[in-house]
Each structure stands twice: as structure tokens, then as C-alpha cells.
Structure 1
Amino acid sequence: MLESPAYTLVYEPNSADKPSSSEYRGYLEKGDDETKIAAMRQILTTVLNGDPMPELLMTIIRYVMPSKNKQLKKLLYLYWEICPKYDEQGKLRHEMILVCNAIQHDLQHPNEYVRGNTLRFLNKLKEPELLEPLVPSCRQCLEHRHAYVRKNAVFAIYSIYKASHDLVPDVAELLSDFLAVESDATCRRNAFVCLSHLDRGMCLRYMENQAITSVDAMLQLAFIQFVRKDVLVADPELKQRYLEVVSDLLESQTSVVVYEAATTLPLLSNSTLYVQSAASKFVDMAIKEPDNNVKLIGLERLGELAEHSDSILNTMVLDILRVLSAPSLAVRKKAIDITMHLVSSKNVDDVVKLLRKELEKAVGSGSAEDKATEYRQMLIVAIRRCAIDFHEVAASVVDMLLGFMGQLNTVAANEVITFVKQVIDKYPDLRSGIISRLLVALKTVKSGKVYRGCLWILGEYCLDEKSIHAAWRELRTSLGKIPIEDVKEEEEEKDEKDEKSQTDQKDHLEHNSAASSKPKVLADGTYATETAYASPADASASQSSKIADLLKTPLRSLILSGDFYLGAVLASTFVKLVLRLAEISKSQSLLNALKAEAMLAMVSIVRVGQSSDSGAKHKIDEDSIDRIMTCLRVLSGWSSGDAEKEAEGAFLEETKSAFEDELKEAGALSSNTGDLASESPVEQPDDSIVFRQLATEKKEAVDVTEQELHKISTGTAKKEDLTSRLKKIVQLTGFSDPVYAEAYVQVHQFDVTLDILVVNQTTDTLRNMTVEFATLGDLKVVDKPATANVGPHGFHRVQTTIKVTSADTGVIFGNIVYDGHHSNQSTIVILSDVHVDILDYIRPASCSEAEFRRMWNEFEWENKITVNSRWTSLKDYLDALIAGTNMNNLTPGAVIGQDCQFLSANLFSRSTFGENALANLCIERSSDGHIVGHVRIRSKGQGLALSLGDKVAAIAHNSNNALVAKV
């Protein structure tokens, strides 16, 4: 019994109304061409779905095959492909003789497109008995005048040979002779591809006789494909010849050929010359090709090449960085990532110089666009990696980045300060130079966050007396005149100077008014008036701004703008400098003077923050006051003995050790991530191959798959919990409805499958019953359940698939429709709504603190939920929130004990569709034992923020449900 081929099932929208064979026969005998086309479509669907309907074969031969309609003829060829050609005894049906005769007529048809279409159909025929009488006509088509017929005849001859070797025994010689006389490029390519599967020697001889670089691009691609396939069995001599062929194809004028040749060349040889030649072509593709997708593909191949041949491509780093001239940010990022993989001690100087030039151009452009800002930050991160990994360039990189810090935005400047922290901690010999350069760069800092980072560095790493004095002088100069609250006196002095300067300028202008406004004769004979002085208003404004800039130094202006957190950090820095100086200096008078000066500055900052007439924009917060007052107590000598030692340890040792621990944790995390990324399954050459059928009971080495199969076969595998499936069953109708329906909701990655059970609770047959669904939200119904007839008290099961495109909350609703006793009546049963749970599409994820802050600032949708719950502890509420929202805790300090009264944590998750969701939790325990606070959720889209907000609100609601323990 011959096995029938398997085909893809085709969806039938209404299987209940499918016509019978007699109805099909009537459509084909009496219908016009449109009716026959519709009938043939339905017949093809029915045959593909498993019903061969052999009784229609003769009807189709008589009434469809003679038609000259082109669309009907295409459908007819599809039918010849899938129709049953053998009877139950395995013999060829007699009707197929007529089919074979019709195909032969088409092969001799005067229209070349009919011939070509028929030849393409022969590629799908596998029956030698049908193909045998068609071989002479196919051989004649090889000599047809039209190239369309000849190129299809080549594949037809080859497919006939694969079906039966005896039908075309001389196929290799036939194709070789065809190649020798053929001039069309497509025909030659098809013949060479077929010959490459038949005779390797003939292909080699043909390649040697051709001018490789002058043949058509399609044939060149066929050459590369043949080389790539044959290199696995070729001997060393042939490999060298193949290398020469592929190397010649690198100089092709077609980009596709160059790409394929560059991809094939490293497979043939790991020689430095060939690897560099292939890499240079990928670089040229990334630079010259206008399409960004092509650029990325070239860089992707270059990255794969760099992973295996990084020592060879080290000399090409500067060539790869030429790709930075591309406008696409994704292309630039890919080029920088590849470069960072190839940086070594030999080329790091050149890489840093080139990246510095790019940074100068990016900063000099002054563009505030998101892409320009991201590109600058990308360059800073790349330079930072070079400096951390290579000590010889660290000092120059720090000088360069600190010089740019005044021109960068807050995010980029903060990246620079973070980098300086790492370098100054890792390389102690560079600390004095970095401190000196940092003190110079302080004058250009405009952001309070960046200034706080600079103050922390000065407080932790000014370890000798010289650097302490230098840092103190710079901070006092930047702080300006103290007490700071004398702002009104400064403004009065500034106003007096402004008035005096305006009076002097007015007198001078009146004295020179005649000279400044006399007419002047121009070159064309006309008159013009020139003025040598600016207006008094402009001059006074300019002078006023200059005086204001002189009076408000950077640190002073930041404090007066309301950044009192910076003032608290400044107080802590003063304490660290004084305590360190006390360890290395014996001059008590100098220490007392510095203490007094620092205490005066701290008290002045507090008074400015508390006074309403000081000129500060905001009042000082209580946390900053507490921190500054603690610093005052430390400097005033309020503690002694153990308390003093604990205070010194907190200021001088704890913060630095905490930063070092953070660096170690980050380094361990990055190394683990890199190991997992580079880890690949390794098998030793002498490892035994496990065959399940040949395995014995004594064999110990069994892989995981074999263990799972053994558990399944023996019944010891873990079975699915049926209660979990019951939880996913949704009741769609009531028990009193004429039709009862329930659905089992199964969620896949991007689909929701509804398996619906329909029960007919009546004594009548439900005719043409259809289950219809519609959606609300980012959902789409992919397929519609088929129509069916359900008998009395019968069961019917249908399935439908819903496509999901985002993690927003979606609703599925619908109804059941069936015909009544009369044809014009129909009954509709409304179904209950099915809500899609977004937790099925949200997974916990991780990101760095910098990425979290960047996304928090970028995302525009925020949902703030107030928390007032009765959980027993803050940790229990945090655990419930993480479990109920599928988010990951990014704050290690959020692991707290039961006695803690305050908790703050950052949470992060990512949906299956790549949508990020951020959350910030701030809660505390009130006096009555309730947990109060709020949860702020941010996302790029509104739907995700609202959906997660509903989950958070539900967690608080569930905790407030009172439980009765005893009655």
C-alpha cells in the first residue's frame, strides 16, 4: 500500500453546509467559469482536509480540463498534485492516462508561459508511470527559443531524475552539454545548481573554464553555494582552489556576492590574510551600504568573526570605528560593542584617541536631541571601559572627560563622575593627579547631583595634607562669602554699582553723541549713520549679569536655588577633611580654625534654609537639617571615647568600604553574566553516543531527555495538577440557558486559546450553531469557530485563538447563535466576558540603577496607588506585592526585619512584548498598626500602568478582608 503524502489542513468556515459530491458534479457540469472556480476551490479544501472524493475525478477531466481559463487551469494543476492517482490495489487509475495526455499537450503548447507553468508542475509529480511519457517533451523544451521554458525545463528534468533514475540516465551529460551552449544567465544558474547535485567533477571543470569575476551574479552565488557544500568532503588541494575562487569573488561588483563570499572565506581557512579580507568586506558593507539593516547584518557577521578570531582582527579596530560616521544610532552602538571586544594594550591608545575625537564632535554639535545625548553617553561608557581595563590610558581619559564635564548634560556628567570614582579607587597611584584635575573641573559643574559626586570623591580620597588644603580652598572659594544669609547686602551693593555705572555711561554718551551719530558716505553714494556705543539698558543688563555671576559661585548658587541636600553633603565633606587632617597634622590651631570655618558654613546653610528673607527658593528639609546638625556635633567635640571612634569610623571608613563592596558585587555580576553569555555546550571527542534503543540497564550515562522519557514510560513522571486546569475554566452561560458553555483559557506566548465546551440542554437539534467572539483592547480574533449541528442533549467542542499584541488588560466577549424552527428565526445566547490576566505576560527582570533612573525620567505615564493595608509586617507586604505583580526587587536593602518601621524599594518587570514597567514602593507602619504609603508605577504606555495599578489595589483590598478566627 503506497503512503499518501501529508498536506497542510485548510480552514473550512462552515463545515455543516459543505456540498455533497452530486452537488459538486452539478456545479462542474452546468456552471460557468466563475461557478467552476468556486467549486474547484471548495474541492481542493475538502481533499486537503482528508476526503479524496475519487468519484469527481472523471467529472473534472470532462468539464474542467478542456477549459482555457487561466485561473481554472491553475486550480486544475493543484488538483492533479493532490488527487488520488492510485486505486485501492495500488495500481494507477485509468483516468490518469487522459491527464497525462493533457499534460503532454500543454508541454507542446505554442504559448511559452503555458509550457513553463506545466514544467513547474512536473517538479511536484513523483509517479514514474506518469512521468515516463513526458520525458521526450521535457528534453525538447531544453532547446526552446524562450528562456522561460528552458530554465523550467532544467528543473523538470532534474526532478524526473530524482523520481526515477532510469527515466533520464544521462542527466549529467545532458546538463553539461546544456551549460556549454546556453547563454541566458538564469538558465545557466539553474543547470549548474542541478549539476552540482549530480556530478562534482563536471562542476569543477566548468568553474575552471569560466572567468569568475565576469559571469553573472546569480551564477557567482551558485559557485559559492557549491563551494560551501563541497568543502566538507574536499581534499586539501581542492580547498586551495576553492580559496582562490572565493577570493576572486570578493572583488565582485554585486554586494550580495561579496557578502556570501566573505561569509564563506573564513569557513575555508583561518589564515590571517583571508580572515582580514573577509572582515574588511564586512566593514565596507557597514560603511557604504545605505540600508541600515544591511549595515547591521554586516556588523553582526563581523562580530561573529571577532569572537573566534579576535587576535587577528585587533589590527582592524580603527577600520571598524569608521562605521561611527553612519547616522543610525543602532549601527554605531554595534560598532562600538565589537570594538570593545577587540581592544587590547596594543591598540587602546588609538581607540581612545578616536573616541575622543568623536566625543569632541558630539559635544561641539550642541544638539539636545535624545539620539545625540544617547550617543554622547555611549561614547563615554566606551572610553570608561577602556580606562578601567587598561591602566596606561586611565590618567589621560580622566583628564579628557573631566575637561568635557561642563559641556555635558546631567546624565552624561554623572556617568563621568561614576567613572572617576571607579578609577580613583582602582588605581591609587593616580589619585593625586585626579584630585587636582577634579578641583579645576569643579568650576564648570552646573548640576547638584554631579557636584555631590565630586564632593564625595574629595571627602574620601584627599588623604594627604596638600590635597586636603587644596580641596578646602576650592570649596571655600566656591561657597563664597559667609554667612550666606547676607544676600540683601550683596544685592544692595550690586544695585549701587549698577546705578553708578549707568550714570557714567549716560554722561559719556551725551558727550559723544554728535561724534557717534554723524553721517557717513557709503560706496554707492548714500548716507548711513553708525553708533559706537550700545544702549544704556543693554550695558546695564550686561554689567548686572556679570556682577551676579561674580557674587554667586557654583556651589553658592546651587544652595540658594534650594538644593540643601548638596549643603548636607558639603557638611559631611568638611567633617571628613577635618578628621583626616587631624590624623596627619599636629597643628592644633590650624585644626581649630578649619573647624570654626566649617561650623560657620554649616550654620549659615541652615539659617539660609530656614529664613524667609534669605533669597533661597525653597525651605530646607528636615533630613538635611538633621544631617548638618550631626556634622556640627561631631566637629564641636560633643562625643568622647568610643562614641568619637564610632563617629570617625562612620565618616572615614564605612562609606568607602560600602562603595568598594558595591564595586565588587557589580564586578561579580558582570563576570557571571559574561560567563553565561560565552558559555556553550561542550562535548568531548571521546564521549559516548547514547542510543535509547540500544541502552542497557547497567548503563549509567543517560542524558536528561532519556531520563524524562523513562519517567513518562514508567509512569513516574510528575503529572499535571488537574486543579490548576480547573482554575482556568470560565463559565460562559448559566445553567438555565438553553445552551450551556464553558471555556478553558490557555495562555501561550502571544496567543490565548479558548477551548469551549457547548452543551445542548434542549430536546431539539441546534442547527447551524456558531460561537462568535469579539475583543476589547489589544486583542484580535485569529480564527472563527466552524458552524455545526448539535443534537438533543449533545456536546460540541470548538476552539478559537486570540492574538495578543501588548500586555494591557483585554476583554473577550461573544455570543452563541443558532437557527430556530423556521429559517428566518435565530436564537442568540449572550456569553459572559473573559478577562485576560496580564500577569501571564509579565516577567521579573533586572536593570542597573542608571537605567532605572533613565527610564523613570523618560516614561510619561504614572499611576500612583495609595496603600492603607493591614499586613502584619512591611516585609510581608513587599513579598505579596512582588508575587502579585511578577516584579523583581532591585533594592538589596529592602530585605528587612520584622521590627523595621519604614521601607522603600524599586521594582522592575518586563512583558513578553518588550514593554518595561517600573514601580517605586514607599511605605511605613503607622501608630495604629496599619501599613500606609504609596506605590508609583511608570510605563511607556497607559494600559500597562493602569493594569498593574489594579493588581496593586487588589493586593491591598485582599489584605483588608477581615478573617473570623473564632465565633
Structure 2
Amino acid sequence: MSGQDPAYTLVFDPSPNQETNTASSLQKALEKGSDSQKIDAMKGILVTMLEGNPLPELLMHIIRFVMPSKNKKLKKLLYFYWEIVPKLDDDGKLRHEMILVCNAIQHDLQHPNEYIRGNTLRFLTKLRESELLEQMVPSVLQCLEYRHAYVRKYAILAILSIYKVSEHLLPDAKDIINNFLVVETDPICKRNAFLCIAELDRDMALQYLENNITDIDGLDPLLQSVFVEFIRKDATQIPSLKPQYIDLLLDLLTSTTSSEVIFETCLALTTLTANSAILVKAATKLIDLAVRVSDNNVKLIILDRVQDINENNPGALEELTLNILRVLNCEDVDVRSKALDICMNLVTSRNVEDVLQLLKKELQATVNHSNMDSSKKYKQLLIKAISSVASRFMEMAANAVSLLLDFISDLNSTAASGIIAFVKAVVEKYPELKHEILDTLIRALDDIKSAKAYRGALWILGEYAETAPDIQASWKHIRSSVGEVPILQSEMRKKNEGENEEKKESEQEQKPTGPTILPDGTYATENAYGLKERSKSERKVEEEVRPPMRRFILKGDFYTAAVLASTIVKLVLRFEKCSNDVSIINALKAEGLLILVSIVRVGQSSIVDRKIDQDSSERILNAVAILMDGSDTKEKSEETALLNLAFLDATKSSFERQLSLSKTKSLKRSVKDVAKNATPIESTISFRQLSNSSTTGADKDSIDQDLELAIRGSAAQAAPESFVSKLKKIVQLTGFSDPVYAEAYITTNQFNVILDVLLVNQTKETLKNLHVQFATLGDLKIIDIPTSANVVPHGFHRVTITVKVSSADTGVVFGNIIYDGAHGEDARYVIMNDVHIEIMDYIKPSATSDEQFRTMWNEFEWENKISVKSQLPSLHKYLEELTTGTNMGVLTPEEALGEEDCRFLSCNLYAKSSFGEEALANLCIERDPSTEEIVGYVRIRSKGQGLALSLGDRVALIAKKTTKCS
């Protein structure tokens, strides 16, 4: 749609069930109904006309029965009707009924009520028929001198619209607008007049700007904002004026207090210059504005602009890092997340300490609000920010570790696991801080409540406790964390003692006692229920007071116990390498055996919540066998080498490789960001004075480009499609032997599908009243009803149908072609083939973190499990086919997918639709050694049923396709 086409006003459909009224019923409502009935009828008429039916038979009824009404709501709907009603006949001439309409419009332009005049003038800005406008010119010029500003502000816009439709109607429009601008006092009218003169005559607008440049600070903000827009566009077209315009904008930015003017001025400065000093001033004003405004959406928009400045000019805003963090005072998590994302790219060695101090204060402030969901998300954001900052600066790493470990007891499992992952990376990256970090970690281990975080901490102790003092300190913590051993006997003893105490208390409660008299002479009362509740709460507190490892074991978490077993083996092997004291080594082995055997025994008893599983039991018993091994020295050396390789070298080298890969990915991202904004060294230099007028291209206005992209979409920027690519999108709707041949060219936009249908009359007779009826299945809605037409023999007819898509669900469009039969026969039908809407156009691969994936996997209730059976040559080939067929992105790192010839493959996939729907998938497949087939399952989860089923159909289609190929 071109920019000159009118944008019609949307009207609410009064019939919720899409009930359609006939033309006769609408005529009756307009002729004999009350004002309220006429209003409902007019709404129905407008909706029907916007769907493609012009209803020409109603025009005279509306002129006779609606136009004379004085009801303001009915008059407003009447002008909506004049916008969309066809004003020309089939020959392209003005319809005779429009003379009556023209007289009514002229009367409204001279109406004593200023709001009716203003509404009528507003309607004229949407009128494109010069024959109608010609008669309105004198009345519009009179409205320029009307006493009320509401009329004058629309009158000046009407003059601009009339001049753009036909210049001969108002040849002196520029002088009229310029004279009006000089004498006008109302700020809104002056703003509209300046917009008009800036569009028509740049010299006049520049002259007016020069006349008012001295007192621009005292002008109304509305006029200041249009001055800024004019300056931005003019400076883009004439670069030689940029320095003067930039100085003017800086003065305006310093003096103005209007939020709108500040925002527009800052955007104009960022598009006109790359000077870092000016960009800092503009960004500072934007940050102050983001702190001051209360609307969270406005804050996000402003922060997006600040982020654009930083991306286009890397390093220019480093000194504003702490200023941006002032936005964290907002309670909205999205705003805080955006501010932290911007600041993470601005942290340097000069401001890293101040940033960490501020983040520490924010983290301390969230401890008091630990039960709020937004506070939990904010904690995770702060922890992630602190971790990313500290991992880049060694001098801050140790302080950040101690800071985060101080809060680990107040955090949930996800946040605590994130802290432990950060500690892992810091210990590996900065070996010189190893001893200090291990001491801090050991002190904080007693406060960890998350089993996942505790397992990560045990891994750190087993891998990085390499000296005798560190090993002994780690062992001391393990011993205290397990508690009294054997665990089973000590817990049974405590249980028996507790039962005896409860028995004594119950006996004492059963003894009859006399009433207790209080000092004031009243009788005291006791509540046995309160005593029981108190004893339960005391028992719960006692369970929480237990050491962490003992608490996990008694709750049935034997996976953590298996990790403890491997940590004990690592510590013993490392102590053997750094010390020759046989007595201490034997003591460590004996104590380790006692702890592990005690865990197995208690896991097989009934006092734990869940008995020990077979896998954990085998891992613990393997550790016991390693500790008890006492073979001869020759075999001992070979076994020790294998044990060292398995326990001490393999896991650590795997973690080092994982860190190096993540570092490589981050470097690639940073290089990509720099390359995106860098100017190639071989790029040509354009001298405006040395090139001809046809090749001289002025700088493009990025703000106007963004606005055009938002209005017209990416299709306006894309190259025109080739003829061959269009042929691939044509769908045949009827057969070649049918009386009417039909085919459709399908165009997919963001939220709708357009069917351009070509109809061919293959008979030797004229087909009368030929029209197409479409219906849908799924979340689709037809919003266009094509009109009927007479098609000559072997003639062509084209209709366009727009289908609104509301979700990425399987949708079907079906219908038929109807035309009148010959000599009074019944109507004839041609059934068309179904058109299946391709949901892959609305699903795009995306990425998310592992924590968010697990959270969504637990929350989403719809699951579609599909069996996999394929003859493809490799598992990776099937994964490639799956991602191509479903448009899902692989979340699992490439190095974790295994080799090309591996037997097993498991990975997670994620995608988002254009409507905000999220789809998760888990692929688990293997190669059957007997049949060499790929077998397994694909599990798809989503919040709604439709997306899960649609993606499941795509997976089934992949299976059929690969079977045919094989």
C-alpha cells in the first residue's frame, strides 16, 4: 500500500457472532429505527463495507434518513461512511448523489458548533476527489479565521491536503500557510502550520526558523519538537549545515524541560554526529529521562536508544556506566534486565570496582524480599551480572566470590547453582586465587541448602584441593558435613530418645492437674493443639539444623552421596601424590570407607525418605573398592595411573575444554559486533562536489528508515521476487477440465496470509455473478469478502482474499466458486482444493538458557511424543533434517553432540512463533546395532495444544520423507 492511500478508521463490530444483516433489514433500520438503532445499523454497514461489499443500494437511504440527523455519534459514523463509500461511478465520473453530500459537508463547514466544523475539516484531509474538494475551498479558507483553535488546527491541515490532491485548487497555498503562521498564536495551530510549510517549501520554513532562533528556548514544546524534526531532516539532506544545527540542538537540549523535546533532540543528535562528547551529553539526558519517567514501556524505549548509541559507537559511553545503573531503582524486571545488559558491555578496569559495589548494595536490598517472584528473578540477574563482570577482571574475582558466597544461603537452587558455576570458572581461570577461594568456599558450604549447588562445590573441592592443607581442610568439612557415623545407628538412637521423650510428655499430659491461678486471680488455660504444633515445628527446625550432607542423605538424595564418594577418592589420590605420610593416608582411607559404607547402610534402611538407587549404590561401592585396594606394587603403579587419569585428569581437562569453547564463542560474538559497525578499509569515498546530481546520494535518515520499516515491514526493503520463485508459491485450486479454472498465489506476511486468486472462464458463455466463497479451519479468519463479477467467455478475473492468522496452528482454507445457471437454472458450484497454511513461516529458531528451558519444560502442560524410525546414514543427519523441517534451534552445544559416527544422541531444541508462542523439544535417538536403523523419540512441549500437534505433524512428515528417500 502506498503512503498516499487513506488509512480508514477501524469500527467495533457490534455483532459478536459475526451475524450479517441483509440490505433490506438495514434499509428498514435506517428508515424507521430510532437513533440508537440507526447507530447499530451504521456500524454494521461500515463493517460490511470494509470486508469488501460496497452496498451501493444503501447510499440514498443514508442521505435521506441519516444525514439530516443532529445526533453527534451518528454524524461521526456518517463521516466514517463518507470515507469509504465509492464516490465515482463505473465510468470514473462523480456520482450524482455526491452533490447532496457536498451540500451537507458545506453546511457542516459553516456549523456554529466548532467540534462539528473540526470533524468535517478532518474528514477533508482524507478526501482524494478534486471535484468534491473544489467546492469546499472557500469554506475551508473561512475556517482559517475562526475564533476557536480546534477549527483552525484542522483547517490548515485541510489546506495542505487539498493542495497535495490538486495544486490548481489552491495555487497560493504556500503564502496562505506562511501568513497564517506569522499571525497565529495558538501553539498547536503553529505546529501544524510549520509542518505544512516544511513539507511544501523548505526555504520558507528555514526563514521562519531563523526568525525564531533567538527565542527558541521560550517557545512551546510542540513547536520545539517540530523544529527538531525539521533540523534533523534538513541536516541529512544538506550536510554542510550540520555544525550549525548541532550547536542549535545542544543549546535546546540544555534549556528545554519537555520530555518529548529532550527525547527527539537526543535522537537527532545521535543521527547527525558521531562525536563522543556530544553522544555522552545526549545519552546523559536520555538516562535522566529514563530515571524520571514512570512508564516502564517508555523506560525500555529510552534504554533501547541508549543501547543503539553504544552499539553504533563502541566505547563512547563508558563513563556513563554508573548513571545507567540508576535505572535499577525501577521495580520492573524487564527494565532492570535491559539496564544491566547495557552496562555489562561498558564495564572497564576503571569503573569495575564501583559497579561491583553498586551491584552488591542491590543484592543486599533484595534479601528482604526473597519471597517475591520478581525479586527472585532480579537476584538471578544481579548474580549473573556480578559473575560476568568478575570473570573478566582478576583483581575483582576474589571479592566477587566472597560476596556471592555470603548470600548463597538466601538464594534458591537455580541462583545458588549459578554462583557455584561462577566459582568453578574463576578457580580455573585464575589459579593464583585458588587457595583463597577454596577457604571462602569451605566456610560457606555449611549454609548451602541446594543439593545441586552442593554437588558443584564438592566437585570444586575434589578438583582444585591439590595441596595438603587444602585437602585436610576439605576433608574436615566433609567429616563435619556427614555428622556422626555410623549414620544409621546414630539416627536410630536419636529417634528412640525422641520417642521416649514424647511418651513421657504424653504421660504428664494425662495426669489430672488442678487449675492454675494467675497473679491477677484468673484461671489460666492451656491448649494441647498448640503444644503438638510446637513440637512439630521444633522437629522441622531440628532437621534443618542438620549438616548439609547428612540432610541430603536422610532426604533420599543419594546422587549427591555418589558425588561425595568420587570426591573422597579424588582427595585420597591427590594426598597420596603430595604426601608420603602413610599413617595419614591410611587414616583418610579408613575414615572414607566408614563414611561410604555408612551411607550405603542407611540408604538400604527405612529411615530415609527414599531408598538408595542402584546407580548410586554401584558408584559408592566402586569408590569403596578403590579405597580398599591393596595389591602388589607393580600392579599398583599401573592401577594408580589409570585412577589418576580417570579421576584427576579427565574431568578437569573436559572442563578446561568447555571453558575454552565458551571463550571462543564470546570472542566471535564481540568480533562480529565490532565488524558490524566498522567501515571496510577498501570502501570508496564519495565526494559530493565531484559527482553528478543523479549519483549524489544524501545521507539516509535512520529514524525515517525505521519508521518506514515499521509501517511497511521488511517487504519494502527486500528485493523483488523473481518470476520463478513466484511460480513455486502458486497452488492449483481447480482442475483443467472444470468450467472455471482457479489458482492462487500465496503471500505470507507477519500476521496474515494473502491469497491472490486467478479465475479463468473456460466455457463459451458469460458467467454471471461469479464469486468465490472461502471458509477456514483452525485459528484463521477471513477478513475480505470478494465481490461478484460477470466474466466473459475465456475471460480472466482476479480476487484477493486476506486471511488473518492468530496462532502457529495447523490451518486449512477451503471454498467453492459460485455462478448463476443459464435460463433460470439453479446456481452452479465448483469445489476448490484445500489450501494448507504453512506454519513454518511463523516459527523461527531461537535460543534460551538451560535454566529457562527447564523451567518452561516443567510449566508447559501439552506434550506430543513422536516415535522416530529412520534409515538416514547418521544421527547428526537426522538432527539436521529435524531442524530444517521444524525451524527449531539446537540449544545443546555442538561439542556435546558427539562424533559423526556416534551411537547415541540427545539434545534440546527451542523455537518461538511470531505470536509469542514457545515450543520446546527433546530428541533422544540411537542407532540400532542389529537393523542399523535410527530409533528413539522426539518429545515436543508447548503451552497450547495446537503448536505441539503442528510440530508433531512436521516430525511425522520428516519420517515419511526420509523413508521415501531411502
Q: Does 1:339 align with 2:343?
A: yes
Q: Which has the larger radius of gyration?
A: 1
Post-superposition shift, 1:622?
3.2
Distance of 1:445 and 1:240 partners within structure 2: 58
Alignment-derived partner of residue 587 in structure 1: 581
Conserved? CA contact 1:923–1:934, under 8 Å: yes
CA spacing shift, 1:120–1:811, aligned 2, 3 Å: closer
Q: In the TM superposition, what whole-angstrom CA distance separates every residue of 1:801-841 from its partner, at most 9, and x where no partner exists?
A: 33323222222232333333465833445545433343444
CA spacing shift, 1:820–1:933, aligned 2, 3 Å: same
Conserved? CA contact 1:562–1:620, under 8 Å: no
Of residues 474, 479, 484, the one that matches 1:481 is 484
Distance of 1:169 and 1:723 partners within structure 2: 51
Alignment-derived partner of residue 285 in structure 1: 289
Of residues 592, 596, 605, the one that matches 2:590 is 596
Q: In the TM superposition, what whole-angstrom CA distance separates every residue of 1:260-316 from its partner, at most 9, and x where no partner exists?
A: 344445667778886555444433432332322222222223333444677665454
Q: In the TM superposition, what whole-angstrom CA distance separates every residue of 1:543-575 from its partner, at most 9, and x where no partner exists?
A: 65566556x532123233332222222122112
Distance of 1:481 and 1:634 partners within structure 2: 21
**Counterpart mapping for 1:114-125 below 5 A:** none
Post-superposition shift, 1:469?
0.6
Distance of 1:621 and 1:136 partners within structure 2: 95
Q: Does 1:636 align with 2:629?
A: yes
Alignment-derived partner of residue 894 in structure 2: 892
**Counterpart mapping for 1:724-873 below 5 A:** 729=731, 747=748, 749-754=750-755, 756=757, 766-790=767-791, 798-821=799-822, 825-867=826-868
Of residues 605, 613, 616, the one that matches 1:620 is 613
CA spacing shift, 1:836–1:68, aligned 2, 3 Å: closer
Alignment-derived partner of residue 686 in structure 1: 685
Q: In the TM superposition, what whole-angstrom CA distance separates every residue of 1:395-448 from its partner, at most 9, and x where no partner exists?
A: 221112112112111111111111111111112222112111111221122222
Post-superposition shift, 1:888?
3.8
2:204 maps to amino acid: D
Give the 3-state SS of the residue equivalent to 2:556 in structure 1.
coil
Conserved? CA contact 2:600–2:612, under 8 Å: no
Alignment-derived partner of residue 447 in structure 1: 450
Unaligned runs of 5+ in 1: 11-26, 50-59, 89-95, 696-711
Of residues 933, 936, 940, the one that matches 1:933 is 936
**Counterpart mapping for 1:488-567 below 5 A:** 490-500=491-501, 503=504, 517-521=516-520, 527=522, 529=524, 537=532, 541=536, 544-545=539-540, 548=543, 552-567=546-561
Alignment-derived partner of residue 380 in structure 2: 377
Give the 3-state SS of the residue equivalent to 1:343 in structure 2.
coil
CA spacing shift, 1:959–1:193, aligned 2, 3 Å: closer
Distance of 1:630 and 1:719 partners within structure 2: 70
Q: Does 1:575 align with 2:569?
A: yes
Q: In the TM superposition, what whole-angstrom CA distance separates every residue of 1:731-774 from its partner, at most 9, and x where no partner exists?
A: 667x8876665656565554444455656677765432332221
Post-superposition shift, 1:135?
8.9
CA-based RMSD of the aligned residues comes to 5.5
Give the 3-state SS of the residue equivalent to 1:519 in structure 2.
coil
Alignment-derived partner of residue 656 in structure 2: 660
Conserved? CA contact 2:772–2:817, under 8 Å: yes
1:633 maps to amino acid: I
Distance of 2:761 and 2:132 partners within structure 1: 51
TM score, norm. by length of structure 1: 0.76
Distance of 1:201 and 1:692 partners within structure 2: 26
1:646 maps to amino acid: L
Alignment-derived partner of residue 330 in structure 1: 334
Distance of 2:942 and 2:692 partners within structure 1: 50
1:661 maps to amino acid: R
Alignment-derived partner of residue 212 in structure 1: 217
CA spacing shift, 1:293–1:902, aligned 2, 3 Å: closer
CA spacing shift, 1:425–1:79, aligned 2, 3 Å: closer
Unaligned runs of 5+ in 2: 9-26, 33-37, 54-59, 70-74, 696-718
Give the 3-state SS of the residue equivalent to 2:785 in structure 1.
coil
1:682 maps to amino acid: T
Conserved? CA contact 1:922–1:933, under 8 Å: yes
Distance of 1:442 and 1:856 partners within structure 2: 30
Post-superposition shift, 1:595?
2.4
Distance of 1:897 and 1:651 partners within structure 2: 23
Aligned length: 883
Distance of 2:408 and 2:233 partners within structure 1: 56
Alignment-derived partner of residue 301 in structure 1: 305
Give the 3-state SS of the residue equivalent to 2:349 in structure 1.
coil
2:208 maps to amino acid: C
1:212 maps to amino acid: D
Q: Does 1:426 align with 2:429?
A: yes
Post-superposition shift, 1:468?
0.5
Higher mean C-alpha displacement, 531-540 vs 916-925: 531-540
1:774 maps to amino acid: A
Alignment-derived partner of residue 185 in structure 2: 183
Give the 3-state SS of the residue equivalent to 1:529 in structure 2.
coil
Higher mean C-alpha displacement, 891-900 vs 289-298: 891-900
Post-superposition shift, 1:171?
5.8
Conserved? CA contact 1:779–1:803, under 8 Å: yes
Q: In the TM superposition, what whole-angstrom CA distance separates every residue of 1:21-47 from its partner, at most 9, and x where no partner exists?
A: xxxxxx9xxx99x9xx99xx99xx99x
Distance of 1:899 and 1:103 partners within structure 2: 79
CA spacing shift, 1:874–1:823, aligned 2, 3 Å: same
Q: Does 1:911 align with 2:913?
A: yes
Alignment-derived partner of residue 945 in structure 2: 942
Q: Does 1:470 align with 2:476?
A: no
Conserved? CA contact 1:455–1:570, under 8 Å: yes
Higher mean C-alpha displacement, 585-594 vs 914-923: 914-923
**Counterpart mapping for 1:62-81 below 5 A:** none
Higher mean C-alpha displacement, 828-837 vs 290-299: 828-837
Distance of 2:878 and 2:795 partners within structure 1: 49
CA spacing shift, 1:649–1:222, aligned 2, 3 Å: same
Distance of 1:667 and 1:123 partners within structure 2: 59
Higher mean C-alpha displacement, 593-602 vs 761-770: 761-770
Distance of 1:496 and 1:852 partners within structure 2: 46
Q: What is the percentage of aligned positions where both structures have the same residue?
A: 43
Conserved? CA contact 1:246–1:265, under 8 Å: no
Higher mean C-alpha displacement, 621-630 vs 469-478: 621-630
Post-superposition shift, 1:579?
1.6
CA spacing shift, 1:809–1:72, aligned 2, 3 Å: closer
Conserved? CA contact 2:427–2:434, under 8 Å: yes
CA spacing shift, 1:732–1:602, aligned 2, 3 Å: farther
CA spacing shift, 1:810–1:556, aligned 2, 3 Å: same
CA spacing shift, 1:230–1:931, aligned 2, 3 Å: closer
Q: Does 1:401 align with 2:400?
A: no
